[in-house]
Amino acid sequence: MYNPKHFEESRPEELQRIIQTYSLGALVVNGANGLDANHVPFLFDAAAGEHGKLQAHVARANSVWTDCKDGDEVLVIFTAGDAYISPNWYPSKHEQHRLVPTWNYQVVHVYGKLRIRDDEKFVRGVVAKLTNVHEKMVGEAKQWKMSDSSAEYISMMLSAIVGIEVEITRIVGKSKLSQNRENRDRLNAAHTLANRNEQAVSQAMLSAVPL
């Protein structure tokens, strides 16, 4: 990933926020049939190992877990908010007339080694934790839990999925948030996005560290 110094995202708390808030990651593998990508919701365990660990599950019918083997290098891409930025939103544009449009965004690339976990206990635990996390995020008054369904039905559904883990070896983040522009330009563009209900990028731009 092209990642100029002024856009590098190295704050651990921000990298973790992006992974946990935008947890649908693109799992990119180079398996028996070449390059492939699957979009999978992940759990991030920051305390597991030096760089943490990702956990998820895929459909048993998905060939990704048979095309790959334990230890294969994989990449998981987490994409946060993104938004088009018009030069008209930069006050300096109206003085200099030397600015062009751009696109602001945040992404995290997680590199690691794939582990296939085809055992019911692991899968049950991942499903329970994923459910708990996301039921809390959507704010249901009565959160759904696995025990809401019959044990037989849950067992049948669990048998149709396979667990996976990614032992993280490296995390690379990029926050392209107009840090290379004048502070007044960045702030005005952020407020303009907020008025257009582009809150994710707006808030990230407001908290970005300027050059």
Taking only the tens place, the pLDDT of each residue in 137-184 is 888 888 998 889 999 999 999 999 999 999 999 999 999 999 999 999
Q: Per the domain annotation, does 162 fall within a domain?
A: yes
**Quick check: is 190 in a domain?**
no
pLDDT at 84 over 90: yes
pLDDT band at 95 (very low <50, low <70, confident <90, very high): confident
Q: Give residues with Cβ within 8 angstroms of 128, minimum separation 6.
A: 145, 146
Question: According to the model, what pLDDT value does residue 49 have?
Answer: 86
Domain assignment of residue 196, yes or no: no
Look up the pTM and report it: 0.92
Instruction: Reply yes or no on whether the pLDDT at 132 is more than 70.
Output: yes
pLDDT tens digits for 41-83?
999 999 998 899 999 999 999 999 999 999 999 999 999 999 9
Domain span including residue 140: 5-82+105-179
The answer to whether residue 94 is domain-embedded is no
Residue 211: pLDDT over 70: no
The conformational region for residue 139 under phi > 0 = left, psi -120 to 50 = alpha, else beta, is left
Return the CATH number at 32.
2.30.110.10
Number of structural domains in the chain: 1
Mean pLDDT (the chain) is: 94
